[in-house]
Amino acid sequence: MGRLAEDIRSVRERDPAARSLIDVLLCYPGLHAVWGHRITHALWGAGLRLPARVIAQLVRFATGIEIHPAAQLGHRLFIDHGMGVVIGETAIIGDDVTLYQGVTLGGTGKERGKRHPTLCDRVFVGNNANILGDITIGENSRVGAGSVVLQDVPPNSTVVGVPAHIIYREGKRVLITDPRDVKDPLSDAVIALSQRVEELETRIHELCGEQARIHEQHPLTAEELERIRYRQERNQMRDYVQMGEGI
């Protein structure tokens, strides 16, 4: 009974919409899914794996939340709204963790062994976030809505994006100066463009320096260059006029 009361209290503390005990007991599928998992986890540990899977499926149909019986859940897990939440077989969740709807704690392939994430204490995961593979989300970290996390997240960090990257750590803003840190598939293209811009800026500075030196050494030559440039622009305008004749 102590665990049940603890679960109810955690819901009322973290969700301002929970107005009464009856409201929590009847209208929170995340709470029902956690309680159902305790039954299936006990059956799984006792070697009754088929009954555990069957009951887990019934809980899934009733709540919209799929938790594998072998997953390890800590104290006071709060699954808000809950529809579409998936927690894989080897996932480990610490205490006081909050998950919103659509969160997936999944694997990245068909490998055996530990293949699902570990969420440490007091982790917050926004809606529709995907945390994939045998990675660890450190204590007090936050995963932004819609993020795809593929690598470990250090404690006291905030990550966002696809793939996710750190934007806050230990309460301080993390500025990305190297596009490689984003680990986006388009990072190589961004890096190439950045290098090309630097090359063009360098070339422009060189040309400006050359033109200044020419003007200092040969003023008439510089004036002649200006005349040539003017003639070229005038010829281009004449071509445009000829193309428009007869309209």
pLDDT tens digits for 194-204? 788 888 888 88
Query: Rounded to an integer, what distance in angstroms lies between the CA atom of residue 198 and that of residue 107?
Result: 41
- Check: CB of residue 118 under 8 Å from CB of residue 92: yes
Average pLDDT, the chain: 85
Strand order in the sheet with 104-106: 66-67, 86-87, 104-106, 130-132, 148-149
pLDDT of residue 247: 47
Who wins on pLDDT, 225 or 66?
66
Find out if CATH 3.30.70.20 is the number for domain 2-175: no
pLDDT above 70 (res 218) = no
pTM above 0.75, yes or no: no
pLDDT tens figures, 143-184: 999 999 999 999 999 999 888 888 888 888 877 666 666 666
pLDDT tens-digit readout, 67-107: 999 999 999 999 998 899 999 999 999 999 999 999 999 98
What does the alpha-carbon distance between residue 202 and residue 191 come to, in Å, rounded to a whole number? 17
Closest by alpha carbon to 164, among 125, 191, 110? 125
